[in-house]
Every structure is written in C-alpha cells, then in structure tokens.
Amino acid sequence: MKRIGFIFDMDGVIIDNMRTHEQAWLALFADLGVSINIKEFHDQTAGMKATEVLRYFLGNRFTKAELEQFSAQKEFLYRVLFRKKLKATKGLMTFLKEAQKRHIPMGLATGGGKLNIDFILDGLNIRKYFQSILGANDVKHGKPNPEIYLKSADALDLSPDVCFVFEDALPGIEAARRAGMKVVGIATTHRISFLRKVPSVILAAKNFESLSPKQFLSMAD
C-alpha cells in the first residue's frame, strides 16, 4: 500500500466562510463603485490571490500598490466579520486527529495571506496537524495554476499521484487536477450534486462527517 498525503484548501474547506468573504468583497467593490456578478465571482476567482481577484474585476485601473492596499482592507473586514463565527467545518477535527494517528502527512495550500492563515489555524488550534503550510506569499501564481499544490507535495516529500486534495471551488479543483492529484469536493461553495459531475472529483461530501482517513488508504494503489 502506497504512502498517501492529504492537502487541504482553507477557505470553504477547513472553515465554511465563503459567504463572509463574499460580504467583504461586495463591500469593497461597492466602495470602489464596481458591481460584480456573484456567480462569476465564485466560478472564476475562488482560490485566487486577493490581488488577482482585484485585477480580474478592476483591470488595470489601479497600481499594484493600490491593489495590495485594497486587498488588506478587504481581508481586515473579513476577519472582523468572521471572528464570532469561527469554527471548524463539521467533522474536521475528528478527521485531522485520525489522520495524525495514522501518520498521514498533511498540508495546507490556500490562496489566503499570512494574517488570514494565522487567524484560522491559531483560532482553531489546528496548526499542529500540518507539516506544510503554504499561502499566497509562497507562490507566484494562484489557483487554478497548480504551483501551490506541487509545492505542497514537494514539502511533504510525496509524489502528486498519492496526494488527496480537499477543495470546494472550481479553480482549486482545476489546480489539483493539473497537479496530477486526486480531488475530494467539499460542498460549501457548490452543491454535492454539482461536484459529483466534475470529472476530476473522485468523491464529494457535505463536510468531513462522512469521511474517514482510512477510506483513502486503498485509493492510491
């Protein structure tokens, strides 16, 4: 039986926070006088770096420094809004503990920045479960580029084909597919019925309650 590894996206996987991110984005874009299509926002930009999301909707109207300032404002607003709602996705804690007992290497691969990563991992006290933690500052290209997942596999000393990626959104799913990894869809951003139709998703679940690390051990053979 091959050695396997788990790599988790953060937003929409570790925590169900995408609606709060949406609120913060809508507030920022409204302040900038821009109206965005929410479906397009989810389908096209989930998993991207914040500055890439801004560039996608704003084009070249602003400098890189201005985009970074807008990004910081949005992320601060998100943390303020989500602080009282902070809790792990159902079943996650049990899943992480069991995976740790089985000595399965685990990594975090998110488009979020350091402040958001610290906010979630330390707020939930789950940093100890991850041997690799990568965010927006660790890559040149955000999802759907596979860079962050390939770097995660390398950091865990695993080949991509034995890595299971837990993702909620299409750009992240595509990034994992391009990296040559197996994708487990978590239905926070999309419905389970939708995720099951995505060719690269081998399994879809509402949360982690129905999942067990043991069930993945034979899937890498």
Q: How far is CA 80 from CA 25, 71, 84, 97, in A?
A: 13, 14, 8, 29
Average pLDDT, the chain: 93
Whether pTM exceeds 0.85: yes
- Mind telling me the catalytic residues? 9, 11
pLDDT of the residue at 202: 97
State the amino acid at position 33 in one-letter form: G
When pLDDT is averaged across residues 171-197 and rounded to a whole number, the result is: 95
Within 8 A by CB and 6+ apart from 17, the residues are: 11, 78, 82, 85
pLDDT band at 47 (very low <50, low <70, confident <90, very high): low
Structural domains in the chain, sorted by start:
5-16+86-216 (3.40.50.1000), 18-84 (1.10.150)
Residue 199 reports pLDDT greater than 80: yes
